[in-house]
Structure 1
Amino acid sequence: MSDHELVKVDGKFFALGGRRFPFRGVTYGTFRPRESDGARFPERDGLKRDFSAMNEAGFTVVRTYTEPTTDLLDVAGDWGLHVLAGVFWPDWRYLLGTSRRQAAGIRRDARREVGLAARRLAGDPRILALCLGNEIPADVIRWHGAGEVGRLVAHLADVVREEDPVRLVTYGNYPTAEYLASDSLDFLTFNIFLERQQDLRNYLTRLHHLAGDRPVVIGELGGPAGEGDTGERAQAEALNWQLEVALDRGVAGSCTFAWTDEWWVGDAAVEGWQFGLTRTDRSPRPALDVAAQWNDRTVADLRADWPSVSVVICAYNAEATLHECLTHTCALDYPDLEILVVDDG
């Protein structure tokens, strides 16, 4: 990992150090508050165990739902992982009432939490982006107004940029609330759990239309392992086609949900979901092998034979620009490409 370079948006994808950054992600947490400082992550030894295994499986990004601790960032850096860092703030779903004073308190607390996180993490190359919340429920958005919620998310993005002008920002949305305004975000992040390949293919096409020229990231995908070998095989099969469709539809990156079955929400463990690539004891499921295989693939691996493509460059008085044009064209990674220059003088 570069000591200074930041991941940047490069068209519909990401770049690091002038080269395409392969976003291969997995979600992590939240966990039981640890004894040392109450953070919702394992202690350092647990982080080392998990992140070394992620690295071995070819992951490049770990997505957290709360602000990453210093030791998490240190261990992530040691294992070449970038962090899509969640910033938790208590949104409207946590309100006990609906008064204007309470709503103002939500906005004030959100600005404070996001500002503190952005200031602390400013300039850190281990951070890929800040994710300013995750899945505010659609009924909550409708109740308080999509405009109000969207304006706050946009304002939080501005808060980050005031502290760290080059930091990428996103928000973890999902299909039921896709109408939430997103123009202020550097890339779209959507959590998507669809059970049919064509539905996922169609929806990713729709997200590209919503994103325009920005990258699309799947913030969560995957499925439950259920009970026994049959359920684990079904999980692996579903993840296989999900990752294939994601790569085929040109998403900039995907985060498999989740690294492990160990999962705490609030003050209680979540039992029975079993979405993990690993079990609570970190023994691997077949789905981890599937993820590792796709982490090592590119678009070129989607088919054995690709059609021939001709790039035609029409040049007229192009002495000043032709060299740069040919340099970029010759750098295209395509298995059967010919370049034709038409010199019009």
Structure 2
Amino acid sequence: MKGFSYGPFAPNSTGEPLPERAKLRADLATMQSLGGNTLRLYSEPSLQVLDDLLEFGVHAIVDIPWEKHRCFFEDWSAREAARESVARAATSIGEHPALLAISVVNEIPNDVVRFYGHVRIERFLAELSDSVKQLAPDCLTTFANYPTTEFLQPEVFDFCCFNVYLHDADRLGAYLDRLQHIAGNLPLVLSEFGLDSIREGERVQAELLAAHIRTVFEHGVAGSVIFSFTDEWFTGGRLLDQWGFGVTRADRSFKLSADAVR
């Protein structure tokens, strides 16, 4: 798996946090030229978007957003909203051939996990995964973990995802070996990795991403998602311009890192 994270963007004319269709298709063609075969999306896409991905030979890992940052076990409505969001996604897109997997959550905050304990969190994540399987039996499930909560280890998922931002190849390799032990018999995927070219420089970004890709496959990882495809990023109700994690700029011109990951 060789992937890129994508978005969120300012809402398009249909209300999706994605570019207009023509621009999205142009982005898919660019990803294809860079050897990308996987897109990580942070909200449920429309069937039209998935059809476009399939046309370009790209598959999607789709995160389902819900209120993970609050103490959701204290509020029945928050848990129910999470269940409904996951079930809705499984029903609408779970059997689409362009869907690689549904990720039932991205990075539950460490303080929330420690407050409730890992067993309770793991049971809830397993419940969300089971909901997907009940509605779309062939759909793969995962969740995006990160080093601070690496002790979360639900065993019901189809592959193990970690967001890891280690900028030293040797340290990354050593940590990947540790994650392989945590993943056990499950395939390991790095679901986010990147570097800000505004603060570190484009050449450093390119060198680091090239080293990252080599290290990932030297250590038997099933795949990696580079964060991100483009500098264009919309969050908190506004576009961020002091941000440079993309391998392309906001206008989609290539940085040095685009050739480095090709």
1:33 pairs with 2:11: yes
Superimposed CA distance per residue, residues 123-164 of structure 1 (whole angstroms, 9 cap, x where no aligned partner): 211101111111111122212332222211110000000001
1:291 is aligned to: 261
Does 1:199 pair with 2:171?
A: yes
Matched pairs, number:
262
Aligned pair 1:46/2:17, yes or no?
Answer: no
Of residues 109, 125, 132 in structure 2, which corresponds to 1:137? 109
Structure showing greater relative contact order (alpha-carbon pairs closer than 8 Å, 6 or more residues apart):
2
1:275 equivalent in structure 2 = 245
C-alpha displacement at 1:213, in angstroms? 1.1
Q: Structure 1 99/215 Cα, relative in aligned 2: closer, same or farther at 3 Å?
A: closer
Q: Secondary structure at the match of 2:198?
A: coil
Identity within the alignment, %: 37
TM-score, with normalisation over the residues of structure 2?
0.96
Q: Give yes or no for the alignment of 1:115 onto 2:78.
A: no
Counterpart residue number, 1:61: 38
- Partner of 1:38: helix, strand, or coil? coil
Q: How does 1:249-328 map to 2 (within 5 A)?
A: 249-292=219-262
Of the three residues 209, 213, 232, the one matched with 1:239 is 209
Maintained 8 Å contact 1:44/1:71 = no
Q: Find runs of 4+ consecutive structure 1 residues off by over 4 angstroms.
A: none
Give the 5 Å matches for 1:60-139.
Answer: 60-91=37-68, 93-94=69-70, 100=74, 102=75, 104-139=76-111
Q: Name the structure 2 match of 1:224.
A: 196
**Partner residue in 2 for 1:210:** 182
Residue 270 of structure 1 deviates from its aligned partner by: 2.8
- The answer to whether the 8 A contact 2:94-2:136 is kept is yes
Shift of 1:37: 2.3
Map Cα deviations across residues 35-63 of structure 1 (whole Å, 9 max, x no partner): x2211111101111100100111111111
Find the aligned partners of 1:131 and 1:271 in 2 and give their Cα distance.
Answer: 28
CA–CA distance in 2 between the matches of 1:133 and 1:151? 13
Larger relative helix fraction: 2
Stretches of structure 1 that go unaligned for 5 or more consecutive residues are 1-22, 293-345
Once residues 236 and 77 of structure 2 are traced to their aligned partners in structure 1, the CA distance between those partners, rounded to angstroms, is 21
Shift of 1:245: 0.4
- CA 99–126 in structure 1, closer or farther in 2 if over 3 Å, else same: closer
Q: Is the 8 A contact 1:170 1:186 kept in 2?
A: yes
Asked if the contact 2:123–2:154 (Cα under 8 Å) also holds between the matched residues in 1, the reply is no
SS at match of 1:51: helix
- 1:175 alignment partner in structure 2: 147
The corresponding residue for 1:335 is none
> If the length of structure 1 is used for normalisation, what is the TM-score?
0.73
Q: Equivalent residue of 2:201, what SS?
A: helix
Question: 1:99 deviation in Å?
Answer: 7.8
Aligned residues of 1:191 and 1:219 also touching (Cα < 8 A): yes
